[in-house]
């Protein structure tokens, strides 16, 4: 199937498919008469790429991850390290946002307290 058919069938944005093709790591995807042709094994890889996008991997990180996955055996430890690093960064972001929420809640509490004092 063509890039447009794959995009429609699997609801994957064209820009992600184009990025996938540009890496030339498309596994069973091959170029036929100037156009990439996808087969039924590609959606699994594309799903992984979408998942990596969704969890915050940048394009270069995804490219590195997919290169490890598709071109090299015995890369589980490296890929796991990449996922662990992303998880740690995500937890740091969550903790930062939690502290922001605490500060916001304090400010809201303070304003409500002032409003309550004015009513009494």
Q: What is the pLDDT of residues 1-10, one digit of tens each?
A: 788 888 888 7
In this structure, the answer to whether residues 65 and 96 fall within a common structural domain is: no
Distance of CA 17 to the CA centre of its chain: 14
As for how many domains the chain has, the answer is 2
Full residue range of the structural domain in which residue 16 is found: 1-72
CATH code for position 38 = 1.10.1660.10
In this structure, the answer to whether residues 79 and 65 fall within a common structural domain is: no
Q: What is the pLDDT of residues 43-71, one digit of tens each?
A: 788 888 889 989 999 989 998 998 898 87
In this structure, the answer to whether residues 26 and 51 fall within a common structural domain is: yes
Q: Which two tokens stand for residue 106?
A: 């304090």
In this structure, the answer to whether residues 7 and 60 fall within a common structural domain is: yes
């Amino acid at each position: 199937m063509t890039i447009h058919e794959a995009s429609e069938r699997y609801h994957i944005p064209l820009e992600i498919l184009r990025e996938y093709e540009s890496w030339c790591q498309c596994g069973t995807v091959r170029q036929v008469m100037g156009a990439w042709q996808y087969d039924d094994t590609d959606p699994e890889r594309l799903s992984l790429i979408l998942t990596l996008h969704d969890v915050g991997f940048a394009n270069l990180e995804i490219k590195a991850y997919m290169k490890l996955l598709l071109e090299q055996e015995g890369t589980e430890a490296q890929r796991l390290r990449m996922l662990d690093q992303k998880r740690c960064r995500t937890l740091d972001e969550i903790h930062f946002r939690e502290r922001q929420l605490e500060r916001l809640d304090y400010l809201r509490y303070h304003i409500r307290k002032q409003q309550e004092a004015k009513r009494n």
